[in-house]
């Protein structure tokens, strides 16, 4: 018969503890994401109303052909936000703002099925806020009407997004050659559900920062310019990381550079007061551009417009820094990341792209 | 000096193990959500093209006023899907399909800021798939044009969604009286970005089930009718839970009931072949209706249309069950849940509403 000594029980308890600790380890596996909470809400927006009285009997049936609007309201022009807070979260959230013709999908699963910045940064314990700007995606309720044309323009965007030209991917491009990937990429485009309005968009994103407090804004393309403007409105924006800002660079009055011509267009900058401009010298800013951006004018509009943007961005960086700012501009091929499209966040090498951002956040004490 | 006996080391190891196990316990707290993975993709859809040749030089600049569409494609009419798989997931996912004028937001955070079915069922270890149907939300890319009117109609929906009448909440309604809640509720509405097309929607959701395999479809309102049709298309739909289906009930040819009149309208059902209809007798189905649905005709259209729907749903239940089906219809006030609106999934008592679904899933062996 066994001796049930106290030392025997301790051995059993020890074994049980080890087993429990090991089984608990499944929860701390690298590949799971542990959330403190997640949810969604809308930020900002306005209310419009039609004069008159709403008759809930006479006007209360769904009747699209002859629906009365008298005495009714419409709540619209807000941003839609989905957020996820990991356990043991870092103090400053990343707020992801998509670009033209896109939604929060930009930051989600890549066209070829890998993780996007949403997951990558959640795993690094950053709270993430993904937004659809007013009149886009799930924030579709607009106070102004519009027409959506359903014009066939995939190839236009294939070019402007610098995947390639026509239907040919650039050699060495960081985009999957699998047809399914391009299919997914095209399908992530989504239209404006009302006239695009810069002021309205910046107000809504500013309202978001009023709600959530201090955070780091991450922009893409068209939201690059809107991001600078939003920072002027809201001191809760502690830093900005901007991927491929296209336009909307703001300079102090009197220092606005000449427009930069490109194929069939010209890139213009605008002026803000020196006092407003100083705001942009107070926060760390990093800007990233990808590959296949020519440094001399070329015929291909899809590339040439980015030559103008990159040129303007460098000029802007210099003006901000001359006034005491902290703008870093990273041209990815110059740091060894070649082949990036207009969408570095979802390109094949997006882990390396993300690592640059992680390191910059750490370096600036934003982590 | 202490004796470093083997028993001493065992005590130290024991203490360390207990400490580790307790610290690991923070991960198994009730209130965290642990995900195996999450992501998004599009399902289904088509491609249209315009004849001609795309000239990447002449037509490659962004020029909305005179953009050429020649030789270009448009990938559209897909559903957009965001999914989350918890650790230790149950085998059958819940696929949530919103209703008219809504997006996947329907299933997310409630208007008054509590958890929605997305979180509730994730915590119960169900994989969750949230979808935006074609031409809605993040699935906005449509192959057909449309106009969005921005008509003021909040109060129309206040009534049809049975929050109340005009701006007065029903007494005892399961909706928060806080103004901020109604504001959030109005802002979750989002428009169609192309003509609403039932066939197109059912094709896309069927494509989703082709991708993910067997699952449980959860519908709401307008997607109720579309849900029955999708089940006819796809055997991977193992069960359907339908919240407040409005219309689209299908009966065997020759057994279609007379239209049910309601204020300023009539609810019609449609016919399918007996063979198709039999599919609906093969899967467990549960239907839920909320409160403030009159059992006699009333003047208020927002309520009266639901009288017709509930009446039709009961007739449908009986026809399906007479042919060997398994349809349960739950009128929430009859099981003690009073005051529910058209949105039981996000009402104040949504935990109790969810519990009914959980229990039904268990009862039918779908968990």
CATH of the domain at B207: 3.40.50.1820
Q: Is B141 on the interface with A (CB under 8 A)?
A: yes
- Beta carbons within 8 Å of A253's beta carbon, 6+ residues apart: A271, A272, A273, A274
Tens of pLDDT, residues B173-192: 999 999 999 999 999 999 99
In the numeric block, which tokens belong to residue A207? 């309202």
Lowest mean pLDDT among A23-37, A127-141, B33-47, B306-320: A23-37
Interface of B with A in 156-175 (CB under 8 A): 156, 159-160, 165-166
Residue A133: inside a domain: yes
Mean predicted lDDT score pLDDT of chain B: 94
Residues 6+ apart with CB under 8 A from B177: B169
Mean pLDDT of A276-294: 98
Query: pTM value?
Result: 0.93
pLDDT one-digit tens code per residue, B42-93: 999 999 999 999 999 999 999 988 899 999 999 999 999 999 999 999 999 9
A chain contacts of residue B24, beta-carbon cutoff 8 Å: 20-21, 24-25, 27-28
Distance (Å, rounded) from C-alpha A67 to C-alpha A77? 22
Domain interval for residue B111:
37-46+78-363
The CA distance from B216 to B236, in Å, is 8
**Which of B221, B227, B323, B228 lies closest to B271, judged by CA?**
B228
Is A61 in Cβ contact with B264 (below 8 Å)?
A: yes
Cβ contact A265–B61 (<8 Å): yes
B152, B155, B247, best to mutate vs chain A, most A CBs in 10 Å = B152
Residue A35: its H or E element:
strand A33-43
Statement: residue B20 has pLDDT above 80: no
Shortest distance, CA A325 to any CA of chain B (angstroms): 32
Q: Return the pLDDT at B1.
A: 47
- Residue B27: band (very low, low, confident or very high) from pLDDT cuts 50, 70, 90: very low
Q: To probe the interface with A, which of B36, B86, B155 has the most A CB atoms within 10 Å?
A: B155
Q: Is residue B151 a part of any domain in this protein?
A: yes
Question: Which pLDDT score, from 0 to 100, does residue B18 have?
Answer: 56
Q: Which residue of B has its CA nearest to A8?
A: B7
| Tally of domains in chain B | 1
Given a cut of 70, is residue B8 above it in pLDDT? Answer: no
Q: Which residues 310-349 on chain B approach chain A with CB closer than 8 angstroms?
A: none
Q: Three-class SS string for A335-358?
A: HCCCCCCCCHHHCCCHHHHHHHHH
pLDDT exceeding 90 applies to what percent of chain A?
90
Neighbours of B133 (CB within 10 A): 29
Q: Are strands B270-272 and B250-252 parallel, antiparallel or unpaired?
A: parallel
Q: How many other β-carbons are positioned within 10 Å of the β-carbon of residue B114?
A: 16
Own/partner long-range contacts of A12-16 (Cβ < 8 Å, ≥24 apart)? A13/B14, A14/B10, A14/B13, A14/B14, A14/B17
Taking the C-alpha atoms of residue A204 and residue B79, their distance in angstroms, rounded to an integer, is: 27
Q: Is residue A180 included in any domain, yes or no? A: yes
Q: What is the pLDDT of residue B26?
A: 44
pLDDT at position A208 over 80: yes
Mutation site for B-interface testing, chosen from A61, A87, A115, A142 by largest number of B Cβ within 10 Å: A61
Size of interface A-B (CB pairs under 8 A): 317
A165/B73 Cβ within 8 A: no
* End-to-end Cα spacing for chain B: 59
User: How high is the pLDDT of residue B264?
Assistant: 87
B28 to chain A: which residues are within 8 Å by CB?
A: 24, 27
Q: Chain B residues with CB inside 8 Å of A119's CB?
A: 38-39
* Residue from the list B67, B105, B193 with its beta carbon closest to the beta carbon of A193: B193
Over residues A228-234, mean pLDDT: 97
> Looking at residue A7, what is its pLDDT?
64
Q: Tell me what the mean pLDDT of segment B242-253 comes to.
A: 98
Residue in A95, A354, A114 with CA at minimum distance from that of residue A223: A95
Q: What is the mean pLDDT of residues B106-114?
A: 98
- Res A14 pLDDT > 70: no
Tell me, what DSSP letter sits at residue A189?
-
Q: Please write the tens of the pLDDT for every residue from B160-172.
A: 999 999 899 999 9
Q: For residue range A187-201, what is the model confidence (pLDDT) as tens digits?
A: 999 999 999 999 999
Mean pLDDT, range A262-279, rounded to an integer: 96
- Residue A8 with chain B: CB contacts under 8 Å: none
Kindly report the length of chain B.
367
- CB contact at 8 A, B79 and B43: yes
Contact residues, B window 7-46, toward A, CB-based 8 Å cutoff: 7, 10-11, 13-14, 17-18, 20-21, 24-28, 31-42, 45
Residue B25 lies in a domain: no
Contact (CB<8Å) A146/B144: no
| B5 within domain boundaries | no
The residue to which tokens 């640059």 are assigned: A356
Long-range pairs, B110-113, Cβ under 8 A, ≥24: B110/B181, B110/B346, B110/B347, B110/B350, B111/B175, B111/B176, B111/B181, B111/B182, B111/B184, B111/B185, B111/B188, B111/B346, B112/B175, B112/B176, B112/B178, B112/B180, B112/B181, B112/B184, B112/B348, B113/A39, B113/A41, B113/B181, B113/B184
User: What pLDDT score does A69 carry?
Assistant: 96
Contact by Cβ (8 Å): A271, A250: yes
Q: Which residue is closest to B45 within chain A, CA to CA?
A: A187
Average pLDDT over residues B25-52: 88
Whole-number pLDDT of residue B64: 87
pLDDT at B16: 63
**Quick check: B167 and B159 in contact, CB under 8 A?**
no
Task: Report yes or no: B5 at the A interface, CB cutoff 8 Å.
Answer: no
Average pLDDT of A237-258? Answer: 98
pLDDT score for B65:
87
Closest listed residue to residue A142, CA positions, set A132, A129, A152: A132
Interface of A with B in 199-258 (CB under 8 A): none
A14, B18: Cβ pair inside 8 Å?
Answer: no
CA gap A246, A311 in Å, rounded: 11
What share of chain B in percent tops pLDDT 70?
A: 92
pLDDT band, residue B13 (cuts 50/70/90): low
Q: Which of B27, B152, B191 sits opposite A48 (nearest CB)?
A: B152
Contact criterion met (CB below 8 Å) for B240 and B223: no
Share in percent of chain A as helix, strand, coil (round to 5):
35, 25, 40
pLDDT category of residue A16 using cuts at 50, 70 and 90: low
Q: How many angstroms separate the CA of residue B348 from the nearest CA in chain A? A: 16
Average pLDDT, chain A: 94
Q: What is the pLDDT of residue B6?
A: 60
CA gap A305, B250 in Å, rounded: 54
Query: CB–CB of B33 and A34 under 8 A?
Result: yes
**Does residue A26 surpass a pLDDT of 70?**
no
Confidence (pLDDT) at B25: 46
Q: Which of B38, B45, B155 sits opposite A54 (nearest CB)?
A: B155
The answer to whether residues A148 and A140 touch, using CB atoms and an 8 Å cutoff, is no
Asked if residues B218 and B243 have their Cβ atoms less than 8 Å apart, the reply is yes
The reply to whether B1 falls in a domain is no
Q: With bands split at pLDDT 50, 70 and 90, how would you rate the model's confidence at B353?
A: very high
Q: What is the pLDDT of residues A303-359, one digit of tens each?
A: 999 999 999 999 999 999 999 999 999 999 999 999 999 999 999 999 999 999 999
| pLDDT average, residue stretch A123-141 | 98
Query: Quick check: B150 and A142 CB within 8 A?
Result: yes
Query: Chain B interface, mutation test: which of A132, A140, A146, most B Cβ atoms within 10 Å?
Result: A140
In A, minimum Cα distance to B158 occurs at: A60
3-class SS at B158?
helix
Chain A: residue nearest B33 by CA? Answer: A35
In angstroms, the separation between the Cα of residue B364 and the nearest Cα of chain A is 30
Is A6 a domain residue? Answer: no
Touching check for B145 and chain A: CB below 8 Å?
yes
Q: Kindly report, residue by residue over A293-305, the tens digit of the pLDDT.
A: 999 999 999 999 9
Residues in chain A: 367
Decide: residue B32, CB within 10 A, 0-12 exposed, 13-18 middle, 19+ buried: middle
């Amino acid at each position: 018969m066994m001796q049930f000594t106290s030392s025997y029980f301790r051995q059993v308890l020890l074994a049980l503890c080890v087993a429990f600790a090991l089984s608990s380890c499944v929860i701390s596996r690298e590949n799971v994401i542990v959330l403190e909470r997640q949810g969604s809400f809308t930020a900002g927006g306005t209310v419009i109303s039609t004069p008159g009285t709403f008759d809930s009997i006479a006007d209360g049936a769904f009747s699209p052909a002859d629906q009365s609007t008298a005495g009714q309201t419409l709540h619209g022009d807000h941003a839609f936000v989905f957020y996820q807070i990991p356990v043991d979260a870092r103090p400053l959230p990343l707020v992801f703002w998509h670009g033209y013709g896109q939604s929060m999908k930009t930051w989600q699963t890549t066209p070829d099925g890998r993780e996007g910045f949403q997951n990558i940064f959640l795993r690094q314990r950053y709270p993430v806020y993904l937004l659809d700007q007013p009149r886009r995606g799930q924030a579709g309720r607009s106070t102004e009407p519009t027409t959506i044309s359903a014009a066939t323009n995939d190839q236009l965007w294939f070019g402007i997004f610098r995947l390639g030209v026509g239907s040919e991917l650039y050699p060495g491009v960081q985009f999957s050659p699998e047809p399914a990937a391009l299919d997914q990429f095209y399908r992530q485009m989504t239209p404006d559900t009302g006239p695009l309005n810069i002021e309205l968009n910046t107000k809504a994103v500013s309202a978001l920062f009023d709600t959530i407090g201090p955070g780091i804004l991450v922009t893409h393309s068209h939201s690059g310019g809107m991001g600078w403007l939003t920072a002027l409105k809201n001191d809760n924006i502690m830093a900005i990381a901007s991927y491929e800002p296209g336009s909307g660079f703001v300079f102090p009055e009197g220092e606005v550079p000449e427009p930069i011509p490109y194929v069939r267009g010209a890139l213009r900058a605008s002026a803000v007061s020196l006092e407003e401009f100083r705001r942009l010298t107070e926060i760390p800013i990093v800007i990233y551009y990808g590959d296949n951006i020519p440094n001399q004018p070329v015929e291909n509009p899809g590339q040439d417009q980015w030559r103008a943007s990159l040129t303007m961005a460098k000029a802007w960086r210099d003006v901000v820094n001359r006034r005491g700012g902290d703008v870093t501009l990273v041209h990815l091929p110059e740091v060894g990341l070649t082949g990036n499209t207009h969408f570095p966040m979802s390109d094949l090498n997006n882990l390396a792209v993300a690592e640059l951002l992680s390191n910059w956040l750490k370096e600036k004490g934003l982590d």
